[in-house]
Amino acid sequence: MADNSKTLGEGAAVETQPAAASFQQAIVSNPPSAIAAREAHPRPDNPPSALIQADGLTKIYESGSSRVVVFQDLQVEIAAGEMVAVVGPSGAGKSTLLHLLGGLDRASRGTVKVAEFDISKLSDVDLARFRNREIGFIFQFHHLLPEFSAVENIMMPLLINRSSSRAARERALSLLEAVGLRDRATHRPGELSGGEQARVALARALVARPRLLLADEPTGDLDSKTSESIHSLLKEVHRSQRLTSIIVTHNERLATICDRVLHLEDGQLRNG
């Protein structure tokens, strides 16, 4: 695959072309054994229509005498294969909602079902296992581990899931290739541009073949041109990896390329 970024000096880099068009091609034309292992977990051709179903979802933060009611009794239904944007003013509870749907945090009340899992009922250990296997997270500032290289960052979820180091490395390198960064494998996050870090974060989110991709302001810190290339890549991997994706964003262009937009404001969630 061609290199998608050109270094301009002083560490600045510009993405010349999104890697999106070649993502599927890279995976298909270069299937290492770890990729082939995907067949062990085939996606059903006709998955159940609602992958996520949340009812009576309530989050209240309480500490001492302070009490923040973020939202109460929300109902959320997201179909398998949908790409949904969540928009709304700062502080409306978008990140909180994302964290509840992905099992990063627990609701004060209500239920969250993701595929066959009622995650409101899972123990902490099972919830961690559920997150590792079913969900890929992308955070606004990427949250890459600074002391590890790009390929090591991507390998990490597989190593936590007890994959062999060799299989994890093969899978991570194939994803680096797919996001157009094969030649940056040994670079640490501090040696990568913001756009390159976003690509590494996306590769890491996909490494365990999640069903659900959750992203919190994935291009919030990027310039518009770099953001566009990441948006295209997100859309492409959503399709090619047959994901269900929920993306919290302030970026109108990113919201536009999603199938549906949910507005969260004043504790109310409405379709936009």
Could you list the residues that contact ligand ADP (CB under 6 A)? Answer: 61, 68, 70, 88, 90-96
Choice between 94 and 184, CB closer to ligand ADP: 94
Considering beta carbons, is residue 201 or 206 the nearer one to ligand ADP? Answer: 201
Cβ of residue 214: shortest distance to ligand ADP, in angstroms? 13
CB of 75 to ligand ADP, least distance (A): 18
105 in Cβ contact with 99 (< 8 Å): yes
- CB closer to ligand ADP out of 46 and 271: 271
Least separation in angstroms between CB 95 and ligand ADP: 3
Amino acid at 10: E
Cβ contacts of residue 41 below 8 Å, gap of 6+?
A: 209
Q: Which residue, among 188, 198, 255, has the nearest Cα to 222 in the 3D structure? A: 198
CB of 86 to ligand ADP, least distance (A): 8
Q: Report the residue number, 113 or 263, with the smaller CB distance to ligand ADP.
A: 263
Q: Which CB, 68 or 145, lies closer to ligand ADP? A: 68
Residue number, 93 or 194, with CB nearest to ligand ADP: 93
Between strands 244-248 and 260-265, the pairing is unpaired
Minimum distance between the CB of residue 110 and ligand ADP, rounded to whole angstroms? 16
Cβ of residue 92: shortest distance to ligand ADP, in angstroms?
4
